[in-house]
Structure 1
C-alpha cells in the first residue's frame, strides 16, 4: 500500500501543477510577440497584404496566450505566500525585488502598449503602431530576463550572506548575473521561439492539408521552418554549454540525469536507456555506450563524472524522474532538427508545399515544443532537489506549516478551476488556429476609430 501524501508532498504537487500550466503560455507569447513584430516590419517594408493578414491573425492568438499567462502567473505569486512562506521569509530580500523589477519594467511595457498593438490599427500611424508592437515584444524578453535571473539565483546562488535566518543581498550584479544565468536565459529564450515556431508551422501544415495554398498560409509555414532550421541546432549547442555549467555547479543533478551511481575514472559511459532505482542505488536494464558520457559531458575521452554515491543520500535528486524527463526533451529536440533539415531538403526540391506526409509530420510535431519545454523544466527543478536554494536552503525548510487537508483542498480546487478556465482558453486557441488567417479577397475585420488604416509608404502595394 502506498504511503499517504504529506502536506509537503501535496504542496510540491500543487506547485508543479500550477507552474506547468503557467510556463507554456508565456513561452508561446514570447515567441509570438517577436514573430508578429517581424510580420509587421515586413508589411511596412513590402506592402504585401498577407503580412498584415498574418499580423491580425497571430495577434488574436497572442492576446489569448498573454491573458492566460497573466492569470496563471498571479497564482504562482499567491503560492509563495501560502504554501511556501518559509522560502518567502528566507529568500524574499532577493527574489522579491527581482520579481518587482519584472513587474515594473516588463509587465508595464507589455500591458501599456498591448492595447495599441491589438486595437490601434485605425487610431495611430503605421510607425507608431509598429513601435507599440516592438515594445510589447521587448517587454516579453525583459520579463524572461528577470524571471530567469531569479530562478537562476536559486540554482547557483551568490552575492549574498545569511543573517538571522534571512538572505541579505551584498552584490546585485553577482546575484543577477550568477554562474548559470547566461546559459539558462539563452536556453529558455530559444525554447520560447522554438515553441512558437512549431505552433506556427503546425498551423500552416493544418491549412496546407486542408487544401489552402494562398500566400498567408505558405508564408507563415515557410518562415516558421526557416526559424526552426536556424534555432534548433543553436539550441543543441547552448544546451551542451548549459550542461557543462551544470556539471561544474550542480554535479549531483548531472549524475541523476545520467543514472550514474559510481564514478568512472577511466571514462564515463552514457546510459541510453535504463530504469534508475533509488533504493537499490543502481540503474536497471542499462544500455550504455562506453566513454560517450565523457565525450558529451566533459568533451574528453576519459573525463570523470561523479556518481550519485559520491553524494549523501539526503542530497541526491530523484534520478528516476530526471533521467527520463531529460531524454524526452533531447529526443524531441533531435526530431525537431530532423524535421527542419527535411523541410530544407523539400524546399530545395520545390516540394515543400505539396508533401502531404511531411505536412502530417509537422502537424504532429506542433505540441512537442510544449512537451520538451515541460520536460526541460522538470529536469531543471527536480534535478535541483532536495534544495530550493541550491546548497543553502532545503525544500523541506521552505514549506508553510499547513495541514494535509488544507493543501489537499486547495490543490483540488486548483485542478477543477484550471481545467475549466484554461481548458476553455486552449479550446478557443485551437478554434482560432483552425479558422486560420483570412482568405484572399476577404474583408479585413473592422476596428473602432474613424481614421484610416495605416498603410505603407506611397509606391508600395497597400493593404486591402
Structure 2
C-alpha cells in the first residue's frame, strides 16, 4: 500500500471515528430536548410534581449530552481543512452556505435559549422558561434539518453547476440543493430514530429502577411514556425506513445491491438473504440463508420482479459489500426488536402488568442502548454504501483527500482516540451515575440548586425500597 493510499485510509478512519462519537450525542439530545418540552408542558398543564421531577432529572443529563455533542462536533469541521481540503475546495460553494445556515439558525437558537432552559426556571417565570425549552427543542431539530440536507446532497446531488475551476456551485435555485431527492426521507428517518433512541434510554432507566424496587410515581411515568413511544414510533420507523429504502433503490442502486447481498441478477424474483458471509473477491455470499423472492416483493412489490446484481456494476464502482450487508442487518434487526418491545409493552399494559412484569423490564433494560447501535449501523450503511464516492457519482473519495502524508494523519488519529476515550468516557460514566439514581421530589437543577418554584413544595426524597 502506497503512502497516499495509507493516508486515505487513515483520513477516512479518523473521520469515521470522530463522527461516530459525535452522532451518538445529537441522536440523544434531539429526542431528549423534545421530551423535556413535553414534560414541562405537562407540568404547566397539570401542576403535578412528577412531571417537574422528571424534567429536572433529565435536564441534567441533557446538559451533559448536549455539551459533549458540541465539543465532539467542533473537531469534524477542522478535518475538512486538514484531511479533506480538496473536497472543501470543490464542494465548498454548496456545502459552506448550508453549514453556515445551520450555525446562524439552529446553533444560535440553541445557544440563545439554552442558558435560560438550564438555569432560568426560578428566574424568568414558567411561561418564558417553557418558551425557551421549546426553542431549544426546535433548534435541535433545525440543526438536523441543515446537516441532513448537506449529507443528502452528497448522496443525491442536484441543483448544482460546475464552474471553470471544477467546483460545484449553486444553480438557479437553492431549493433544489436543499430539498434534494433523498433529503425528506433521510430527515424523517433520522429524526424518528433520535426520538426512538431517547425513548429506549428513558425506558431502560425506568426499567432499571422498577427492577430495583423503586416503584415511584415519577419512575412509573417515565417508563409508561417511553413504552408508549416505542409502541407507536417503532412501526412508524419501519414504514419510513421502507420508503427510504425505495428512494435509495431509485437513486443509489449499488448501495441497495450491497445491502441485499445481491451479486447475481435475478430475472424472475430475488431472495431476501437473512444471513450470510459476503465475499467481494469471489462475488458471492457464503452460507447464505434466504427467503425466496421476498427481496423482489419488498423492493418492487412483486414476487417475480427482476432485480439487478452487483456483477452488472464495474468493480471499482461497488461499495464494500460485507460492511454494508451486516450494518444494514444490525439496524433492521434492532428495529424489529424495538417493535417487539413496543408490542410486549402494549400486551402488559392491557393486562395491567406494565409496572409488574419483570420480563418486560429486563427486555427494556437490555434494549436501552440499542438505539445508539442502530443509528451508528444506519450511518455506516449510508456512508459506506455511498463509496467509492464522497459526492455520489461525481467526486471519488480518493480524489477528495488532502495531499497529506500518512504519519501526519496517524499522529492526529492517535491523539483523537486517546482524548475522545478519556473525555467522553468520563462524561458517559457521569451520565450513567445520574441515571442510576431515581428522580425524587425536590430534584435539583444542573447547578445543584434545589427547587424553589412557586406553588411547588419540596418533599423529602423517597427512600429506595
When normalised by structure 1's length, the TM-score is 0.95
When normalised by structure 2's length, the TM-score is 0.95
Q: 1:397 is matched with which residue?
A: 399
Aligned positions of 1:126-275 closer than 5 A = 126-163=126-163, 164-170=165-171, 171-275=173-277
Alpha-carbon deviation of 1:273?
A: 1.2
Aligned positions of 1:405-444 closer than 5 A = 405-438=407-440, 440=441, 442=442
Task: Give distance in 2, aligned partners of 1:142 and 1:7.
Answer: 35
Task: Give distance in 1, aligned partners of 2:137 and 2:95.
Answer: 24
Task: Give distance in 2, aligned partners of 1:450 and 1:356.
Answer: 34
Q: Look up the SS of the partner of 2:113 in the other structure.
A: helix
Q: Look up the SS of the partner of 2:15 in the other structure.
A: helix
Alpha-carbon deviation of 1:165?
A: 1.4
Kept in 1, the 8 Å contact 2:255–2:385? The answer is yes
Alpha-carbon deviation of 1:448?
A: 9.7
| Stretches of structure 1 lacking an aligned partner (at least 5 in a row) | 456-460
Alpha-carbon deviation of 1:358?
A: 1.8
Alpha-carbon deviation of 1:357?
A: 2.4
Task: Give distance in 1, aligned partners of 2:43 and 2:197.
Answer: 24
Q: Deviations over 1:233-269 (max 9, x none)?
A: 0000000000100000000000011110121111111
Confirm whether residue 340 of structure 1 aligns to residue 338 of structure 2.
no
Distance 1:189 1:449, change over 3 A: closer
Aligned positions of 1:63-102 closer than 5 A = 63-102=63-102
Kept in 1, the 8 Å contact 2:443–2:450? The answer is no
Q: 1:331 is matched with which residue?
A: 333
Q: 2:7 is matched with which residue?
A: 7
Q: 1:121 is matched with which residue?
A: 121
Alpha-carbon deviation of 1:453?
A: 2.1
Paired residues in the alignment total: 456
Task: Give distance in 2, aligned partners of 1:255 and 1:354.
Answer: 45
Kept in 1, the 8 Å contact 2:57–2:443? The answer is no
Alpha-carbon deviation of 1:454?
A: 4.8
Q: Look up the SS of the partner of 2:371 in the other structure.
A: helix
Q: 1:277 is matched with which residue?
A: 279
Q: Deviations over 1:35-55 (max 9, x none)?
A: 000000000000000100100
Q: 2:57 is matched with which residue?
A: 57
Q: 1:458 is matched with which residue?
A: none
Kept in 1, the 8 Å contact 2:119–2:445? The answer is no
Kept in 2, the 8 Å contact 1:122–1:449? The answer is no
Task: Give distance in 2, aligned partners of 1:416 and 1:401.
Answer: 25
Distance 1:21 1:445, change over 3 A: closer
Q: Deviations over 1:76-118 (max 9, x none)?
A: 1111111111110010111111111000000111111010001
Q: 2:32 is matched with which residue?
A: 32
Q: Look up the SS of the partner of 2:277 in the other structure.
A: strand
Q: Deviations over 1:410-430 (max 9, x none)?
A: 100000000001011101110
Distance 1:247 1:111, change over 3 A: same
Task: Give distance in 2, aligned partners of 1:240 and 1:443.
Answer: 42
| Stretches of structure 2 lacking an aligned partner (at least 5 in a row) | 460-465
Alpha-carbon deviation of 1:285?
A: 1.2
Task: Give distance in 2, aligned partners of 1:59 and 1:378.
Answer: 30
Task: Give distance in 2, aligned partners of 1:74 and 1:32.
Answer: 21
Moved more, 442-451 or 213-222: 442-451
Q: Deviations over 1:414-450 (max 9, x none)?
A: 0000000101110111011112212x4x575697999
Task: Give distance in 2, aligned partners of 1:39 and 1:378.
Answer: 33
Task: Give distance in 1, aligned partners of 2:138 and 2:217.
Answer: 28
Task: Give distance in 2, aligned partners of 1:288 and 1:246.
Answer: 22
Q: 2:463 is matched with which residue?
A: none
Of residues 346, 362, 366, the one that matches 1:360 is 362
